[in-house]
Structure 1
Amino acid sequence: ETPFEMGRLGLFYSNQSSELQDVNNSADIHYLQFQSSIYYPVATGWQSYVGLGLGASYADADWVDDKYGFSASAFAGLEYTFSKNFALTAQVRWLGTVVDNDTSGACVLPTDGSSCVIKFETDWMNQFQSNIGFSFRF
């Protein structure tokens, strides 16, 4: 068991933008999640943490059939506390979202004249991100 004081609740928002220049296609995925994490002291001023998040996503892309979906995340990080309310934090995070997609396309790349065929079918999309920043607690 872990004391209640070692856990934290929060709200997480992220925007993941992707662009394919040669085929002129882009996507923006927005995540909004409630998250919970647990902190473990490492040394004076240092804490590590792990957590999970659940929420929703919005996919702003032409190739997605259903733009809204369920999303989940798992994350881990390290934090250095300057004061009771202010800290430097670094983390890695996996983000997964439900997408309803069955896409195919053909293109001619103008750079060398070769052709390409793009086809994929999926119900789940994974993304990874790393963050460095400051946290402020109130």
Structure 2
Amino acid sequence: MKYKQRLGVSMLAMSVLMHTGNVAAESFVAPFGGYAFGTSDFSTVDSTSQAESSVKIAESEHWGVMAGITTPDPGSIYLLYSHQSTEFSIGDNLNQPEITKLDIDYLHLGGALYFPQGKFRPYITTSAGLTQMRPDNGFSNETNFSMSIGGGAEYQFTTNFALFADVRGYATFISSSQSLFCNSGNCKWLVDADLMWQGQVSVGAKLTF
């Protein structure tokens, strides 16, 4: 009898834990948009003319989406995609560069940890993944490893809908003296840099289901 009672209690406890886990693990989708700023300057040498210049990526709007699941910490695990259409800003060269327009994509796997205060939920977040830069005029795409760290807050209007705002800093790892943006074997620039830094300010909506 005692064995049956213990077995019954154990099964009941397991059922409660499974039910709790199912409730805690929710999926969410969070589209966002904002402004990307503060890109690092690159010290470059034109591979054709040997002209030295200071090159940076211009500030502009960006948009993206996160999709993931919540965790009982409370926190979340997510996949992030961010897109920015921008252009190069040449600091020391008055000539029009061959490359003008540039698309930048971030694809990151990340996590967030929340510090709930009622419906107001501040959080910190970090992620890692890839940065891809896609120039115009037929030059090659460049894909590099990158990481980010940031913080923000969301406000839960209902259990299924929240608005959020955050700031993130992205660091893209670039090999020193790397050739960038090649076309038919000819590369546009030699870059003397190890990291490309960029900041993003975003606002968005989070739908939980």
TM-score in same-fold range (> 0.5) = yes
More strand per residue: 1 or 2?
1
The separation in 2 between residues aligned to 1:66 and 1:82, in whole angstroms, is: 42
**Contact 2:134–2:141 (8 Å) recurs in 1:** no
Higher relative contact order structure (alpha carbons within 8 Å, sequence separation ≥ 6): 2
Q: After superposition, where does 1:18-97 map in structure 2 within 5 Å?
A: 18-20=86-88, 23-24=96-97, 25-42=100-117, 44-61=118-135, 67-97=142-172
1:13 aligns with 2:87: no
Deviation at 1:102, TM superposition (A): 4.9
Percentage of matched positions with identical amino acids:
31
Change (3 A) 1:121 1:66: farther
The separation in 1 between residues aligned to 2:153 and 2:83, in whole angstroms, is: 22
Which structure is larger by alpha-carbon Rg, 1 or 2? 2
1:136 aligns with 2:204: no
TM-score scaled by length of structure 1: 0.74
TM-score scaled by length of structure 2: 0.50
Deviation at 1:78, TM superposition (A): 1.0
User: How many pairs were matched up?
Assistant: 120
The separation in 1 between residues aligned to 2:88 and 2:73, in whole angstroms, is: 45
CA-atom RMSD, angstroms? 2.6
More helix per residue: 1 or 2?
2
Deviation at 1:59, TM superposition (A): 1.4
Deviation at 1:90, TM superposition (A): 0.4
The separation in 2 between residues aligned to 1:127 and 1:41, in whole angstroms, is: 28
1:126 aligns with 2:197: yes
